[in-house]
Amino acid sequence: MKANLEPNVTLELAKKSDLPEFRKKLQEAFAIVVTEAFGDADHGPIPSDHDVQQSFDAPGAVVYHILQEDQKVGGAVLRINSKTNHNYLDLFYVSPEHHSQGIGLSAWKAIEAKYPETVRWETGTPYFEKRNIHFYVNKCGFQIVEFYNKYHPEPHMHRNECEDNNPLLGDEDFFRFEKVMNKD
């Protein structure tokens, strides 16, 4: 019987000089899913350079590399609010060559362990990203709490403020997830 071992995953703060390469790797990981869902058309970078930069620059933003045995295998951008302890996972990826190895779940557990004072985590994903929906709900314990669509637009998305108006990840058909942390 094969042992089910969790991969040894650690988090490392990204330096400002790391951010261009981080953005590129993030967009490469997201591009695969978009191509699977919508075909090979040129969709431009997803998320857009503008959206990624907004996440990097957001108040309370913290950017981490996900490491396995000192090799960069993914990354996460968090927004940490130390006053309310309602924190956000803005961007999260595991490089495609490392999918299905338990790295994402181990990384998420490491993030939770790094921020034990968190009362609530929040994140979101587009409707077509079934792998993400499965991961957040079935693996990490998030709950779907809202479904944004043309009848119920996301209140913080202002498409006209984005430089590239990519309709694939706009303000329609997007799930919002929450995970309320147990404070025993």
Listed range (90-94, 134-138, 146-150, 171-175) with the worst mean pLDDT: 171-175
Displacement of CA 178 from its chain's centroid (Å): 13
Could you give the CA distance from residue 41 to residue 35 in angstroms, rounded to a whole number?
Answer: 8
Does some domain include residue 110?
A: yes
Q: Is residue 1 part of a domain?
A: no
Place of tokens 């709900």: 137
Q: What is the CATH number of the domain that holds 42?
A: 3.40.630.30
E runs forming strands in the chain? 9-13, 61-68, 71-79, 86-94, 120-126, 143-148, 174-180
CA atoms within 13 A on the CB side of 177: 22
CA distance 154 to 171: 6
> What does the pLDDT average to over 14-19?
96
DSSP letter, residue 81: -
Select the more confidently predicted residue: 150 or 45.
Answer: 150
pLDDT digits (tens, 9 = 90+) for 107-136: 999 999 999 999 999 999 888 888 889 999
Report pTM.
0.84
> What total of structural domains would you count in the chain?
1
| Domain limits for position 74 | 9-180
